[in-house]
Amino acid sequence: MARICHCSPSSVIRIINEAVELKSRVARLPENLCFDEFRSVNSTMSFICCDAEVSHDIVAILENRLTKTIREHFTNRERAAVKSVVVDLDAQYIKFIKALFPNARIIIDRFHIVQLVGRTLGNARISLMKKMNDCHCREYKILKAHWRLFYKDSADLEAARSVYLRGVNEYMAQQNALDLIVKNHPQFEKVYDAYQDVFNALKKKRERLIDVLENYRRSGQNMDIAISTLKKNMTAVLNSVEYDFSNGPVEGINRRIKSLKRSCFGFRNLDNFRKRIALIRS
């Protein structure tokens, strides 16, 4: 910045310090909040919170994400006015939110629910690939080169029109390629069906998601753990279907923070980092 503006680095620092005043806390808490974290200085994870509904303004950036630090920060009387808090599947947040915001409903972000079951499906796919002795067979090539088919909504798969599948080197309908794997491997089919059930239930009503989670049958796969995690946080998971709030605003802020950190080759001082974040958000 000093080189571009033809001044000294100390002048840049002085101007930034004069232009940005860091506030310890906002004057009034928004009614709907988003909680998340990002990697800040010295590879530590810092807590970030923003408005989930209107302005998407940053409410707080704390030096770490310890429960003690977060509890000590939110000490004003307006905590009772908070109506909802959107979080990921971090058990730490879910534990203390009720004590900190007594009237707030906890909402699990829909993206993180899909991500949980999607990672489980990905692990099952990789495990199936490792069990195959022939890495030149059609099944192996479909699992490796066309892995996106398994994450796609089953209703959107091409069932009639054949397309050229690169890697497999033949024309085949997407549904036929998927069936070639699913029908020949029953254990993998159970994991795939569970992923599709959760994925589609999130688009529909609360009753559909309850039905999927309550009627899930354990299969001895890693998907059992994923479904148990969702059932353990059933109320917060169901809130994700009922309400339109998501962690999108804070994830967007984190994306810009990562770009800032990359372009500046990192920061050593958290206050300077926060000031630069305030500048890109102004």
Compute CA distances 239 → 51, 84, 179, whole Å. 18, 10, 34
pLDDT the model gives residue 100: 87
95 Cβ partners below 8 Å, 6+ apart?
67
Closest CA to 72 of 100, 34, 48: 100
148 Cβ partners below 8 Å, 6+ apart?
none
Phi and psi angles of residue 243, each rounded to the nearest 5 degrees, phi first? -115, 155
Q: pLDDT at residue 7 above 90?
A: yes
Per-residue pLDDT, averaged over 139-157, amounts to 90
Q: What's the pLDDT tens digit per position in 9-22?
A: 999 989 988 888 88
Per-residue pLDDT, averaged over 24-38, amounts to 88
pLDDT the model gives residue 74: 85
Round the CA-based radius of gyration of the chain to a whole number and report it.
23
Q: What's the pLDDT tens digit per position in 86-132?
A: 999 887 888 888 888 888 999 999 999 999 999 999 999 999 999 98
pLDDT the model gives residue 43: 85
Contact (CB, 8 A) for 183 and 176: no
Secondary element (H or E) of residue 258: helix 248-263
pLDDT the model gives residue 163: 85
In the chain, the percentage of residues whose pLDDT exceeds 70 is 100
Q: pLDDT at residue 252 above 90?
A: yes
Phi and psi angles of residue 174, each rounded to the nearest 5 degrees, phi first? -60, -40
Pairwise CA distance, residues 72 & 240, whole Å: 28
Can you list the positions of beta strands (E) in 22-162?
32-39, 45-51, 58-62, 84-87, 105-108
Pairwise CA distance, residues 169 & 193, whole Å: 27
Q: pLDDT at residue 75 above 80?
A: no
Give the pair of three-digit tokens for residue 105: 């409903």
Q: What is the DSSP letter of 133?
A: S
pLDDT the model gives residue 106: 94
Mean pLDDT computed over every residue of the chain: 90
- Whole-model pTM: value is 0.86
Per-residue pLDDT, averaged over 79-84, amounts to 89
